[in-house]
Amino acid sequence: MPEIVDLFVYGTLKRGFSNHRAFCARALKIREAAIAGYLYELPVGYPAVRIPQERILLEAGPDPTRDASRQRHHEASLHWERPDEGWGSVQGEWIRLPDPARTLPLIDALEGVRRDGRGEYRRALVPARTQEGPRALWVYWMPQLPPDAHYLPNGAWPART
């Protein structure tokens, strides 16, 4: 059974932001990372990401321990390809957390992930670029952005002025 889970975070779960201490204080590893996608700032003050459907390796299942195990399986055969045409790069952090059975349900609840797919965010496994090579990381993405979401062309949150 896997004892770790790897996430790509780009908002309030990053170091120095509001949810990091409560949800990521037990991190075993934190490194810079990037994924293909578009980053938006929502009027409520936190970000959301859109990702290319073809880059989704897996959708989250009901069992977080199984999700972590499936992550390892995909990572073994992963290679980084050229960036997706028409998609930008979202900058964030690769966070490795222990105990997926406890960690993932808490973060899923924070992000509003629902088993019926009708939550605010969904969790999917996507390829990421890291300094240590390509990795398969779970990311929380928003399938339906509100019309007043503000696109962040530099791919980093918070927006730099």
Q: Total structural domains in the chain?
A: 1
Mean pLDDT of 138-159: 94
- Indicate whether 136 belongs to any domain: no
The pLDDT of residue 5: 95
CA angle (61 as vertex; 29, 66 as ends), nearest 5: 55
Phi and psi angles of residue 81, each rounded to the nearest 5 degrees, phi first: -100, 180
- Indicate whether 40 belongs to any domain: yes
The boundaries of the domain holding residue 37 are 4-79+87-126+142-151
Neighbours of 145 (CB within 10 A): 15
For residue 73, the domain's CATH number is 3.10.490
Exposure string over 122-135, b if 16+ CB within 10 A, otherwise e: bbbbbbbbbeeeeb
- Indicate whether 27 belongs to any domain: yes
- Indicate whether 122 belongs to any domain: yes
The pLDDT of residue 87: 87
Give pTM, 2 decimals.
0.92
Answer whether residue 83 shows pLDDT above 80. no
What confidence category does residue 79 fall into, taking pLDDT thresholds of 50, 70 and 90? low
- Indicate whether 134 belongs to any domain: no
What's the mean pLDDT when you consider all of the chain?
90
- Indicate whether 65 belongs to any domain: yes
The pLDDT of residue 1: 47
- Indicate whether 8 belongs to any domain: yes
What confidence category does residue 64 fall into, taking pLDDT thresholds of 50, 70 and 90? confident
- Indicate whether 17 belongs to any domain: yes
The pLDDT of residue 80: 57
**Comparing 105 with 160, which gets the higher pLDDT?**
105
- Please tell me the least confidently modeled range out of 64-78, 111-125, 137-151: 64-78
